[in-house]
A and B are shown apart, each in its own frame.
Chain A
Amino acid sequence: MPHDHHDHDELSPSGHPYRADQDGPLSYWQVMEIAVRELMIEKGVTTAEAVSAQIEAMDARNPAHGAAVVARAWVDPAFRARLLADGSAACAEMGFDVGPMRLIAIENTADVHNVVVCTLCSCYPRNLLGLPPDWYKSRAYRSRTVREPRKVLSEFGLELPAGVTLRVHDSTADMRYLVVPARPEGTADLSEADLAALVTRDAMIGVGVAKAP
């Protein structure tokens, strides 16, 4: 069909469609957001500048931060040991403030694969990786990851060998998990930056593995 209509094809820089409610009819909940925000400002709880600064700070957090931490752990055994002992402190060393929640790094090996879920809500290491993907918050992921984790991983395209132990970690509101994926083979000569490029968000949640070079 020539000259297809492209209204719904516009993608954001990250390759996702913009949600239509940016410019659709004003919704009740959008009205509430504006009202709550303005009341918070009028009552001195916050300022318009603080809201903008908070959004900017959250926008700046992305999986590349976690990937840099993982790559450092791959190349620096002493850092790896510190990361596994105290994830929050090790991230802080690299300039990443993961906030008050304790960050626990869990390492994948040849024999053990780890995956993270929050069955009760949607706890996620957002201060390191940015906001969670929609599926992480879905009923299907929250319900099934502790029931049939291998099947869930296979839906993400990850078929774990039968001999690999799979550990499922259920987050709580007081701590966060970061999976340190196994370093792929054939990467001995790569720089730390090139290694970081192999570490995906999904690999740090545990529904994927690091990319091959």
Chain B
Amino acid sequence: MSGLDGKRWHDMGGALAGPIPQDDHDFALWEKRVDALMILASGAGHFTVDGLRRALEDMGEAAFETMTYYERWVAAINQNLLEQGVYSIAELGEKMQAVQARGETYGEASNAG
């Protein structure tokens, strides 16, 4: 959200905020995979870190507050790959449906059998 100062929401340096959260976590496999997909997609020349950031910033502040870090990343990677025509929305929809049908946990759904 742009405030009266004209800054976009992600330009948060200098804003007021609460205490620094001290909790940390080890990344889950699916999060590490998202990280890897970004590096591999950009390494293959499909988009750059600037493309990732553009999608992340355009998602807006609500996404920042409600989605986890790698949830936002996978959404941004997907958006860039769609824009680049690596796959179509129809292909994505079919694939997501197929993945969903494999099971109820990440482990089950990861196994294409």
Contacts and interface: CB of A to CB of B under 8 A. Distances in A.
Given A45-B46, A155-B19, A135 B81 contact: no
Contact of B13 (A21, A33, A119): A119
Interface string A26-65: 1101111111111110010110001100110011000000
Contacts of B4: none
Contacts of B30: 21, 30, 33-34
A31 B96 contact: yes
A135 B13 contact: no
A142 B24 contact: no
A142 B34 contact: no
Given A23-B107, A121-B53, A35 B92 contact: yes
B39 to A, nearest CB: 6
B44 A45 contact: yes
B21 to A, nearest CB: 5
Assign chain A's interface to a size class: 35 or more
Interface residues of B, number: 66
A119 B108 CA distance: 38
A136 to B, nearest CB: 9
Given A38-B95, A46-B37, A140-B21, 18 more contacts: A17-B26, A18-B25, A19-B26, A19-B28, A25-B104, A29-B68, A32-B96, A34-B99, A34-B109, A39-B95, A40-B86, A46-B40, A120-B10, A120-B13, A134-B23, A140-B20, A143-B14, A147-B16
Interface of A: 12, 14, 16-19, 21-27, 29-40, 43, 45-46, 50-51, 54-55, 58-59, 117, 119-122, 131, 133-135, 137-147, 152, 155-156, 170, 173
